[in-house]
Amino acid sequence: EIVLTQSPDTLSLSPGERGTLSCRASQSVNNRFLAWYQQKPGQAPRLLIYGASIRATGIPDRFSGSGSGTDFTLTISRLDPEDFAVYYCQHYGSLPRITFGQGTRLDIK
């Protein structure tokens, strides 16, 4: 079973700053199967990045994904006030077929 561990649990930054969120897998995974989601209070998650680095339709280019093997990163180049939310990484693979990280909360400093 692949376990995804996100860090930090909470990240406090100011608008305009750069945000770097980490997702570490317990074993090496195929980049094709790594995705990132954003969830705002009271809303469903929204797909941001799939295939580790491909932005989903309509996602601003300030969001970027990178990484390989066990270490993956979601970077938000310049934080907009609407970016403060919870972010989850997700893997599709062996049973359990879909696993999520525990989430990183991005708070306004």
Partner 1 sequence: QVQLQESGPGLVKPSETLSLTCTVSGGSNSVYYWSWIRQPPGKGLEWIGYIYNSGGTNYNPSLKSRVTVSVDTSKNQFSLKLSSVTAADTAVYYCATADCGAADCYSLAYWGQGTLVTVSS
As beta bridge partners, residue 6 has 23
Long-range contacts from 27-30, C-beta under 8 angstroms, 24+ separation: 27/2, 27/70, 28/69, 28/70, 29/2, 29/69, 29/70, 29/91, 29/93, 30/93
Is 14 or 42 the residue whose CB approaches partner 1 more closely? 42
DSSP string covering 8-22: -SEEEE-TTS-EEEE
13 binds partner 1 (CB under 8 A): no
Looking at 14-22, 67-75, 76-84, 85-93, which segment touches partner 1 (CB under 8 A)? 85-93
50 binds partner 1 (CB under 8 A): yes
- Asked if 76 and 62 count as a contact pair (C-beta separation under 8 A), the reply is yes
Candidate list 17, 26, 32, 66; residue touching partner 1; CB under 8 A: 32
46 binds partner 1 (CB under 8 A): yes
Is 8 or 15 the residue whose CB approaches partner 1 more closely? 8
Q: For binding to partner 1 (CB under 8 A), which residues are involved?
A: 32-33, 35, 37, 43-47, 50-51, 54, 56-57, 88, 90, 92, 95-103
